[in-house]
């Protein structure tokens, strides 16, 4: 369940061609995004209407986590690698 006081982070491990995130703006315009498994963390504001679909033949695998909105500035300062 999405929470209004949280963001969701996505770290793709294996991406799947044909897997997309869909978002709609206040005018009901849809935008689709793929998120490649390139080591990036993708922040999603799940208050915005959204969904995911996978039209490919392979599964997408990733880590998903949530954090409080007031922690965003602190998290954006983090650098480095996980080994």
For residue 12, count other CB atoms closer than 10 A to its CB.
21
What distance in Å separates the CA atoms of residue 76 and residue 37, rounded to the nearest whole number? 19
**Residue 30 near residue 20 (C-beta atoms within 8 A):** no
pLDDT: which is higher, 81 or 35: 35
**Residue 30 near residue 23 (C-beta atoms within 8 A):** yes
Q: What is the pLDDT of residue 80?
A: 80
Q: What is the pLDDT of residue 3?
A: 67
Tens-place pLDDT, residues 33-74: 988 999 888 888 878 888 889 988 999 999 999 999 999 999
Model confidence at 1: pLDDT above 90: no
Segment holding 12, helix H or strand E: strand 6-14
Of 5, 21, 2, 18, the closest CA to residue 54 belongs to 18
């Amino acid at each position: 369940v999405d929470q209004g006081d949280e963001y969701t982070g996505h770290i793709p491990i294996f991406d799947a061609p044909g897997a997309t995130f869909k978002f709609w703006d206040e005018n009901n315009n849809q935008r689709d995004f793929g998120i490649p498994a390139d080591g990036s963390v993708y922040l999603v504001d799940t208050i915005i209407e959204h969904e995911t679909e996978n039209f490919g033949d392979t599964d997408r695998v990733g880590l998903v986590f949530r954090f409080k909105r007031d922690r965003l500035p602190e998290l954006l300062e983090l650098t480095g690698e996980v080994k």
